[in-house]
């Protein structure tokens, strides 16, 4: 079976953000000994709402002599929060941390501190927590609002714009189904609005509300032609010189959604309003399955690929003024969905 993930060729395979904890040890001197084991931090989402109380669970460290240890955490210099608690080896230690009231990216450090610190190194783990506010996290991001559709299935509202004879939603679909069975959030449901959920192709075909549908590749090509009427685009081919019309300016937690590129012209009035939500390898059961966040926007089409068990998607990225085409596994590749009505 041939699997052709064109997004991988469009992006460097680097992690967008620090999405997991990595252990490190203080090596200020060579005379100390190490604690036993490896510090593990379990079951935490790295995208959290402002002021949420988040439960952290740590385990995996023991003292070679069974001596007393303390657990300490610090959430960024802004809050300067440090809590010392007795740490019992070989048990899962739980503690709550309240997220800041201001959105942004915060550094989190958790340390196990031996009481006999002159003889033993501490063990520490670091991560970045992305604290989200549904309004304050997004600046300069304004989608057209003159037409809105409210999904009767869950009450979520989607603005839409008519291009030619087709109405296009301006935000990504976020329908989860009656029992959260459709798609998945990008890390946390706090990202569902406005980023939308991530769907494999089978779920994407079920995500749109009644009266709306998943666009075909021909629909994307027609939209590109609407944005750039001087060009001649064909189904199944790249659409050059048009990606700027699909994206929009703005910031997320202080970072540019689409950094400036002199080769890409972004219209003053937002059109398609693509967000760089990235994509997901659903076959990988850890944080490394998330790819391309803040770098690529990808959207399923309703068309199957010529390759077995694959379907066609359209995507844009930071470095190219092209609406590109690719194909991905219908079961394991997860990307965004836009719905249309004709």
Tokens of 313: 């998607």
Residue 222 has pLDDT above 80, yes or no: yes
Q: Give ∠ CA 16-73-34 in degrees, rounded to 5.
A: 90
pLDDT over 90, % of the chain: 60
Least confident of 2-16, 239-253, 278-292: 2-16
33-81 pLDDT tens trace = 999 999 988 878 889 999 999 999 999 998 999 888 888 888 886 545 5
Residue 135 has pLDDT above 70, yes or no: yes
Distances (CA, A) of 294 to 11, 38, 204, 297: 11, 31, 21, 8
Please give the Cα distance from 252 to 190 (Å, whole number): 13
What mean pLDDT do residues 323-327 have? Answer: 97
pLDDT for 85 equals: 65
The SS3 assignment for 2 reads coil
What mean pLDDT do residues 92-120 have? Answer: 90
Indicate the pLDDT class of residue 88, thresholds 50, 70 and 90: low
| DSSP-assigned states of every residue in 70-91 | EEEEEEHHHH---EEEEE-TTS
Residue 269 has pLDDT above 90, yes or no: no
Tokens of 279: 């994509």
Please give the Cα distance from 36 to 22 (Å, whole number): 16
Please give the Cα distance from 312 to 309 (Å, whole number): 11
Q: What domains lie within the chain, and their CATH numbers?
A: 6-13+136-341 (no CATH), 32-132 (2.60.40.10)
pLDDT for 212 equals: 98
Handedness of CA 205, 208, 211, 215 (dihedral sign): negative
Stronger pLDDT, 21 or 106, i.e. the higher one: 106
Please give the Cα distance from 242 to 260 (Å, whole number): 15
pLDDT for 84 equals: 64
Are the C-beta atoms of residues 317 and 235 closer than 8 Å to each other? no
Please give the Cα distance from 111 to 69 (Å, whole number): 10
Indicate the pLDDT class of residue 1, thresholds 50, 70 and 90: very low
Indicate the pLDDT class of residue 267, thresholds 50, 70 and 90: confident
- Pairing relation of β-strands 47-49 and 123-132? parallel
Distances (CA, A) of 208 to 125, 157, 223, 273, 278: 41, 13, 19, 18, 20
| DSSP-assigned states of every residue in 152-185 | TTT--EEEEEEETTEEEESS------TTS-S-B-
For the chain, what is the mean pLDDT?
Answer: 86
User: 62: exposed, middle or buried (C-beta count within 10 Å: 0-12, 13-18, 19+)?
Assistant: middle
Tokens of 34: 């190490």
- The whole-model pTM stands at 0.82
What mean pLDDT do residues 296-305 have? Answer: 97
Residue 70: phi and psi, rounded to 5, are: -120, 145
Least confident of 192-206, 259-273, 296-310, 322-336: 259-273
CB half-sphere exposure, 199, CA atoms < 13 A: 32
Query: Counting every residue, how long is the chain?
Result: 342
Residue 25 has pLDDT above 90, yes or no: no
Are the C-beta atoms of residues 106 and 100 closer than 8 Å to each other? yes
The SS3 assignment for 138 reads strand
Q: How far is CA 149 from the centre of its chain?
A: 25
165-221 pLDDT tens trace = 999 999 999 999 988 899 998 888 899 989 999 999 999 999 999 999 999 999 999
pLDDT for 82 equals: 59
Residue 127 has pLDDT above 80, yes or no: yes
């Amino acid at each position: 079976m041939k699997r052709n993930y064109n997004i991988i060729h469009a992006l460097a395979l680097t992690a967008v953000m620090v999405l997991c904890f990595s252990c490190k040890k203080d090596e200020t001197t060579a005379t100390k000994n190490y604690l036993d084991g490896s510090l593990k931090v379990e079951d935490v989402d790295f995208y959290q709402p402002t002021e949420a109380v988040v439960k952290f669970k740590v385990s995996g460290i023991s003292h070679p002599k069974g001596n007393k240890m303390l657990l300490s955490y610090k959430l960024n210099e802004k809050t300067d929060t440090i809590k010392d608690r007795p740490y019992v080896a070989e048990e899962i230690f739980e503690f709550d941390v309240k997220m800041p009231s201001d959105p942004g990216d915060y550094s989190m450090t958790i340390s196990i501190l031996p009481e006999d610190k002159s003889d033993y190194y501490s063990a520490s783990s670091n991560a970045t927590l992305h604290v989200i506010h549904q309004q304050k996290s997004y600046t300069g991001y304004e989608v057209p609002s003159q037409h809105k559709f409210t999904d009767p299935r869950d009450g979520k509202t989607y603005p839409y714009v008519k291009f030619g004879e087709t109405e296009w939603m301006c935000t990504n679909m976020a329908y989860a189904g009656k029992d959260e069975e459709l798609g998945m959030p990008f890390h946390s449901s706090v990202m569902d609005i406005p980023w939308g959920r991530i769907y494999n192709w089978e779920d994407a075909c079920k995500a749109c509300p009644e009266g709306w549908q998943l666009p075909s590749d021909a629909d994307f090509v027609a939209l590109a032609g609407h944005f750039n009427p001087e060009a001649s685009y064909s189904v199944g081919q790249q659409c050059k010189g048009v990606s700027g019309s699909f994206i929009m300016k703005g910031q997320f937690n202080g970072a540019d959604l689409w950094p400036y590129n002199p080769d890409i012209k972004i219209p003053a009035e937002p059109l398609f309003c693509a967000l760089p939500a990235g994509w997901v390898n659903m076959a990988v059961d850890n944080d490394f399955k998330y790819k391309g966040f803040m770098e690529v926007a990808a959207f399923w089409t309703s068309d199957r690929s010529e390759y077995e068990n694959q379907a066609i998607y359209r995507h844009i990225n930071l470095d190219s003024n092209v609406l590109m085409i690719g194909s991905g596994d219908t079961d394991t590749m997860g990307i965004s969905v836009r719905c249309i009505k004709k």
